[in-house]
C-alpha cells in the first residue's frame, strides 16, 4: 500500500470540512474521489499535499507518517499536485513553468529525462515552450499543469478536477494521457472529480465523498453500477 489515510478531520476556522475520512491508495492505481460541490474533495487533496493541517487523523505514506509535513518536503518524497483551476504561472514561459515543476530534482540527467518524457506525453507544449503560460488555451494550460507536476518525478500524482472548464473532447484527451502516464510509468494517481462519469470511467477504484464523509468505496466498475450513485451522480446519462 502506498498511502493510508485514517480518521482525517479538517476544519476551516469553526467550520469542519472533513469528518473522519479514511482511505487507502494502492501502489500503481488510479483512485478517484467523486462528490458534489463542497463535499470536501479539494480540502482532502490540500491536506494530503500539506497545504492544510488536519485537526486530527493520520496520513501514512510508504510506511512513514507524513501528517502535517510541509508541502515542499512532500514534493521531495514524490507527492506532486495539479491544483484545482490549473494555476499555471501566467507570465512565466511554458518552459519556465516546467522547470519550476522540477525544482526539487537536482540531477541534471534526470531533469532532462523528465523534460523529454513530459514533452513526449504532451507534444502540444513543445511548440509553445517560449510562450507565456497565460496565453495558452484552457486545455493547453491543463496539460501544462499536469506536465509541470510530472517534472517533479512523482510517485503519487494528485489531480484536482482536471476536467474543469474543458470541452468533453479535451477532457477525454487529458484523461487518456493520465491513464497512459499511470500505465507506462507506474505513477499512482489520486483523481478528484465532480464529473463522476469520466472519473469512474478512468479509474480503478472510487471513493464517494459527501459533506466531508466517505459514503461509498469500491472498484469503479462496481460503483458505477450502484443505483444510488447512478441516481445522485450519473443522472440519466448513459454509460458508454
Partner 1 sequence: MELLSYVLQQLINGLQLGAVYALIALGYTMVYGVLRLINFAHGDIFMFGAFTAYYLISKWDVPIYLVFPITMAVTALLGFLIEKIAYKPLRSAPKIALLITAVGVSLFLEYFLSLNSLFTPNYIGFPRPFEVTGYDLRLFTITNVQLIIFAVTALSLLLLYLLIYYTKYGRAMRALSHDREVASLMGIPVDGIISFTFIVGAALAGLGGILYGFAYPQINVFMGIMPGIKSFIAAVLGGIGIIHGAVLGGLIIGVSEVFVSAFISSTLRDGVIFFILFLVLLLKPSGIFGKWIDKV
Q: Which stretch binds ligand ATP (CB under 6 A): 23-31, 40-48, 166-174, 217-225?
A: 40-48
* Binding-site string for ligand ATP from residue 186 to residue 205, where x marks contact by CB under 6 A and - marks none: --------x-----------
Binding footprint of partner 1, residue count (CB under 8 A): 24
Under the binding rule (CB under 5 A), the answer on residue 42 touching Mg ion is yes
Residue 168: CB atoms within 10 Å: 11
Under the binding rule (CB under 8 A), the answer on residue 129 touching partner 1 is no
| Single residue of 8, 39, 79, 174 touching ligand ATP by CB under 6 A | 39
Under the binding rule (CB under 6 A), the answer on residue 238 touching ligand ATP is no
Q: Which does 39 bind (CB under 5 to 8 A by kind): Mg ion, ligand ATP, partner 1, none?
A: ligand ATP
Q: Which does 89 bind (CB under 5 to 8 A by kind): partner 1, ligand ATP, Mg ion, none?
A: partner 1
Q: How far is the CB of 139 from Mg ion (least distance, A)?
A: 19
Please calculate the CA angle 217-55-223 and round it to the nearest 5 degrees.
Answer: 5
Under the binding rule (CB under 8 A), the answer on residue 96 touching partner 1 is yes
| Single residue of 5, 8, 17, 214 touching ligand ATP by CB under 6 A | 17
If we measure between CA atoms, which residue out of 51, 31, 7 comes closest to residue 188?
Answer: 31
| Single residue of 99, 201, 217, 226 touching partner 1 by CB under 8 A | 99
SS (H, E, C) the chain: CCEEEEEEEEEECCEEEEEEEEEEECCCCEEEEECCCCCCHHHHHHHHCCCCCCCEEEEEECCEECCCCCHHHHHHCCEEEECCCCCCCCCCEHHHHHHHHCCCCCCHHHHHHHHHHHHHHCHHHHCCCCCEHHHCCHHHHHHHHHHHHHCCCCCEEEEECCCCCCCHHHHHHHHHHHHHHHHHHCCEEEEEECCHHHHHHCCCEEEEEECCEEEEEEEHHHHCCCHHHHHHHHCCCCCC
Under the binding rule (CB under 8 A), the answer on residue 104 touching partner 1 is yes
Residue numbers of the site for partner 1 (CB under 8 A)?
A: 49-51, 70-72, 75-76, 80-81, 83, 87, 89-92, 96, 99-101, 103-104, 148, 152
Interface residue list for ligand ATP (CB under 6 A): 12, 15, 17, 35, 37-43, 84, 194
Write out the residues near Mg ion by the rule CB under 5 A.
41-42, 84
Amino acid at each position: 500500500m502506498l498511502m493510508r489515510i485514517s480518521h482525517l478531520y479538517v476544519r476551516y476556522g469553526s467550520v469542519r470540512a472533513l469528518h473522519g475520512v479514511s482511505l487507502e491508495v494502492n501502489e500503481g492505481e488510479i483512485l478517484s474521489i467523486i462528490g458534489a460541490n463542497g463535499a470536501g474533495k479539494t480540502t482532502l487533496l490540500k491536506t494530503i499535499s500539506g497545504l492544510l493541517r488536519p485537526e486530527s487523523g493520520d496520513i501514512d505514506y510508504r510506511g512513514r507518517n507524513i501528517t502535517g509535513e510541509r508541502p515542499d518536503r512532500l514534493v521531495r518524497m514524490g507527492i506532486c499536485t495539479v491544483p484545482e483551476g490549473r494555476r499555471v504561472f501566467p507570465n512565466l514561459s511554458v518552459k519556465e513553468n516546467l522547470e519550476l515543476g522540477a525544482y526539487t530534482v537536482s540531477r541534471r540527467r534526470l531533469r532532462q529525462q523528465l523534460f523529454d518524457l513530459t514533452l513526449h506525453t504532451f507534444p502540444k507544449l513543445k511548440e509553445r515552450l517560449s510562450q507565456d503560460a497565460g496565453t495558452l488555451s484552457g486545455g493547453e494550460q491543463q496539460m501544462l499543469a499536469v506536465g509541470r507536476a510530472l517534472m517533479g518525478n512523482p510517485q503519487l500524482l494528485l489531480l484536482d478536477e482536471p476536467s474543469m472548464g474543458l470541452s468533453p473532447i479535451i477532457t477525454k484527451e487529458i484523461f487518456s494521457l493520465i491513464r497512459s502516464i499511470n500505465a507506462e510509468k507506474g505513477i499512482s494517481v489520486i483523481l478528484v472529480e465532480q464529473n463522476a462519469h469520466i472519473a469512474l470511467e478512468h479509474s480503478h477504484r472510487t471513493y464517494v465523498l459527501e459533506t466531508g464523509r466517505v459514503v461509498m468505496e469500491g472498484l469503479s466498475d462496481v460503483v458505477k453500477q450502484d443505483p444510488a450513485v447512478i441516481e445522485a451522480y450519473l443522472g440519466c446519462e448513459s454509460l458508454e
